[in-house]
């Protein structure tokens, strides 16, 4: 029986986004505050996912060996380091989150049966890398608060109440929505970026947060005048409005994850990515260790 196990590790390191072939003005235009000297730091959290067969002892791998390998190859060299000078790979391509995930894969792949590297720069930004040359995904997390009422305008109150229960009450109710936007693309071989993160955040703010935060969705967002603002429909709408802005930034929208409450969440894949969901459903479940 095959199983995917996940090993968590962490390290603290600093870095600077700076290309010597650019002027100071050009570096600051491209990287903003990340170009400041002497750099800035993060507490990184690393998840290494590995696939294998269960052995007679009920294990995929000896976790003591896995821990030692990750420490020897990754966290030992990187912990309390200045990343730009630590590995030669980061002198060729800047140590962005997505490029770090790629290089960590390269360091561990000869030793462990990796299927995914996930690296958190902080809780609201992380990258995934699956060994696809220079392709990676980057996820940003944000939130907004909004009210809604679940009711179809063509149905009576009694009919809506039968379908949506308390959510059909006339004056609606509210949620603190947690939103994750995942984009995919090619890592630039010099900057280490698959997308301009600042511009991505601006696009999310412009198209999603500003119009939806502290709104009554049924009345304040025209799309929901005729579409019931369930969590599923909200996620689908966000997917629709972000696809073009993300494409204009040189990447592809991969998926949107919307959490309405601790007990209710949904995930919508962008156009052309639905096959990924089917593929994932055929893969072994991820078992955290």
Three-class SS of residue 97? helix
Residue 150, exposed/middle/buried by CB under 10 A (0-12, 13-18, 19+)?
buried
* φ/ψ of residue 162, rounded to 5: -65, -35
Q: Name every residue whose Cβ is closer than 8 Å to that of residue 192 and which is 6 or more positions away in sequence.
A: 93, 94, 95, 96, 98, 99
214 is catalytic: yes
Q: Assess whether 239 carries a catalytic annotation.
A: no
Angstrom distance (rounded) from CA 137 to CA 128? 5
- How distant is the alpha carbon of residue 108 from its chain centre? 22
Q: DSSP letters of 228-239?
A: ---HHHHHHHHH
Active-site residue among 167, 243, 266, 267?
Answer: 167
Q: Which residue has the tokens 């060729």?
A: 92
Distances (CA, A) of 159 to 212, 218, 224, 233: 27, 18, 19, 20
The two tokens of residue 81 are 């380091």
DSSP string across 203-246: HHIIIIIHHHTTEEHHHHSGGGGTS---HHHHHHHHHHHHHHHH
The reply to whether 159 belongs to the active site is no
Q: Which of 68, 124, 214, 225 is catalytic?
A: 214
Give the separation between CA 152 and CA 144, rounded to whole angstroms.
24
| H or E, element range at 79 | none
Q: Would you please indicate which residues are annotated as catalytic (active-site) residues?
A: 167, 214, 260
């Amino acid at each position: 029986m095959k199983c995917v196990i996940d090993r968590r590790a962490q390290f603290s390191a600093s870095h600077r986004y700076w290309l010597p072939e650019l002027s100071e003005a050009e570096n600051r235009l491209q990287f903003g505050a990340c170009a400041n000297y002497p750099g800035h730091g993060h507490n990184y959290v690393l998840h290494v996912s590995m696939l294998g067969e269960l052995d007679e002892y009920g294990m995929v791998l000896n976790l003591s060996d896995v821990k030692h390998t990750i420490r020897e190859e990754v966290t030992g060299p990187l912990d309390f380091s200045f990343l730009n000078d630590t590995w030669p790979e980061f002198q060729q391509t800047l140590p962005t989150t997505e490029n770090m995930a790629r290089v960590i894969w390269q360091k561990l792949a000869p030793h462990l049966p990796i299927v995914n590297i996930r690296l958190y720069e902080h809780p609201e930004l992380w990258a995934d890398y699956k060994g696809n040359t220079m392709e990676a995904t980057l996820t940003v997390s944000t939130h907004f608060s909004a009210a809604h009422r679940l009711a179809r305008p063509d149905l009576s109150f009694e009919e809506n109440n039968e379908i949506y229960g308390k959510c059909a009450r006339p004056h609606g109710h509210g949620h603190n929505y947690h939103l994750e936007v995942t984009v995919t693309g090619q890592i630039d071989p010099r900057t280490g970026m698959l997308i301009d993160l600042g511009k991505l955040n601006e696009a999310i703010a412009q198209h999603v947060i500003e119009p939806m935060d502290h709104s009554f969705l049924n009345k304040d967002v025209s799309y929901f005048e005729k579409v019931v603002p369930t969590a599923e429909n909200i996620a689908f709408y966000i997917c629709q409005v972000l696809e073009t802005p993300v494409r204009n930034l040189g990447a592809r929208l991969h998926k949107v994850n919307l959490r309405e409450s601790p007990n209710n969440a949904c995930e919508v894949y962008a156009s052309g990515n639905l096959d990924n969901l089917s593929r994932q459903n055929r893969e072994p479940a991820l078992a955290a260790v």
